[in-house]
Amino acid sequence: MGAEPYYGPDFGLLHRQDPELARVLLDELDRLRGGIQLIASENFASPAVLAALGSTLTNKYAEGYPGRRYYAGCEVVDRAEQLAIDRAKRLFGADHVNVQPHSGASANLAAYAALLQPGDTVLAMELSHGGHLTHGSRVNFSGRWFDVVAYGVRRDTELIDYDEVRELALRHQPKMIICGATAYPREIDFAVFRGIADEVGAWLLADVAHTIGLMAGGALPSAVPYADVVTFTTHKALRGPRGGGVMCTGELAAKIDRAVFPFIQGGPLMHAVAAKAVAFGEALRPEFAGYARQVVANARVLADALAAEGVRPVSGGTDSHLALIDLREAGVSGAVAEQRCTAAGITLNRNAIPYDPEPPTVTSGIRVGTPCVTTQGMGPEQMKEVASMIAQVIRNPDAAGEIRERAAALSKIHQIYPS
């Protein structure tokens, strides 16, 4: 291959030039290695993805799209973006892909901008039932600029109430229906959403920020054949760089592209676009299907083992990479459990459960996810051990010291970024 190109991520140099910042990077790696990471939206990107992220492509201004840029000198970075687009199309069978959104929230903003006018009616999942801030929260642009009607899950089954979705759609005639969630453990029936959208003449947006990686690996059905627009992130189960993307039908391609640039963004982050290409390339390999299946299998074992420990998974289990755990039987709030687990080296987040009697800062639940531990190579046996550690420490904070040692030992056997 000839001389090594200069990528940039020379840690020794960073350490000599800026020891203060270098310390932050080392401490963060120590934090990760010293415990168990169960934040459902996180993952560990590969060294190849990190190399692309740390590359000189960060320097290039490339407003526009491959072959039609507003700056000179883009012929090389064009290849990176074209690779990302072609690989994503191959992976998901989409007609059109835009890989420039800086994040999942930006991808959603672009989708709204392409299809709606301010004041239009949108039907989306209630935040407290698992929806996302960008699906109509009052503190977000979506709730401020659009008239958002919310559907939720049934009280008895804790599954999406498709009858309610249809009723609300018929009553409010939304211009767009959003499916996809941030804390919903079960498979979403995109075909039913498609049918309802067709019945009322609404666009269907599937926000699969969380599950895109499982779709890529074939562990969950794809939303692409059903939705007009599919928004996603690249850093969650997909295991790529922090970022977002939009897929859509050929009919909407130009609208989506104009909404991303020049409407909501300026120059794309070409180092991140290159890293997205690397991640899509990784997801195209057969091993990734094995990874995706293992993520789901691990989440099922973790949820079942927690149930056996006396804390109930919402809806009785999971079809995905995450489980939502109702802690009321254990007599602790989500906030207290989060704090106790953190003290024991287990990082997870408190989360509202459907019809939660507690406010969002307290909550009655926690959300646990398996993308990180599965990337580390953990399997069902380790998930059972993690469940027992969680169950122990949420009831008995005095066990934190001992659990912390067990968590560090487990993480050490399955080391992240081994040198």
Ligand X SMILES: *Cc1c(COP(=O)(O)O)cnc(C)c1O
DSSP string, 320-388: SSEEEEE-GGGT--HHHHHHHHHHTTEE-EEEPPTT-SS-TTT-SEEEEE-HHHHHTT--HHHHHHHHH
Q: Which of 63, 78, 187, 358 is catalytic?
A: 63
210 binds ligand X (CB under 6 A): yes
Q: How far is the CB of 79 from ligand X (least distance, A)?
A: 25
> Which residue in 180, 213, 268, 369 binds ligand X (CB under 6 A)?
180
CB atoms under 10 Å from CB of 43, counted, come to 25
Interacting span for ligand X (CB under 6 A) from 104-112, 291-299, 306-314, 408-416: 104-112
**C-alpha span between 239 and 146 (Å, rounded):** 32
Footprint on residues 215-254 left by ligand X (CB under 6 A):
233, 244
Q: Is 63 a catalytic residue?
A: yes
Interacting span for ligand X (CB under 6 A) from 103-111, 147-155, 167-175, 386-394: 103-111
Q: Which of 69, 236, 239, 406 is catalytic?
A: 236
Q: Is 242 a catalytic residue?
A: yes
**Sign, CA torsion 193/167/181/348:** negative
Return the H-helix or E-strand segment holding 206: strand 203-207
Residue number with the shortest CB distance to ligand X? 104
Is 369:357 a contact under the CB 8 Å cutoff? no
Cβ-based nearer residue to ligand X, 345 or 371: 371
The upper half-sphere exposure of residue 355, i.e. CA atoms within 13 Å in the direction of its Cβ, equals 10
Q: How far is the CB of 284 from ligand X (least distance, A)?
A: 22
Q: How far is the CB of 107 from ligand X (least distance, A)?
A: 7
Which of helix, strand or coil describes residue 20? helix
Q: Is 381 exposed, middle or buried (0-12, 13-18, 19+ CB in 10 A)?
A: exposed
Q: Which of 233, 363, 370, 374 is catalytic?
A: 233
Q: How far is the CB of 201 from ligand X (least distance, A)?
A: 24
Cβ-based nearer residue to ligand X, 36 or 205: 205
Q: Is 226 a catalytic residue?
A: no
Q: Is 86 a catalytic residue?
A: no
The reply to whether omega before 262 is within 30° of 0 (cis) is: yes
Q: Which of 33, 89, 154, 242 is catalytic?
A: 242
Which token pair is 389?
Answer: 């550690």
Binding site for ligand X (CB under 6 A): 41, 103-105, 108, 132, 134, 180-182, 207, 209-210, 233, 244
Q: Which residues are catalytic?
A: 61, 63, 207, 233, 236, 242
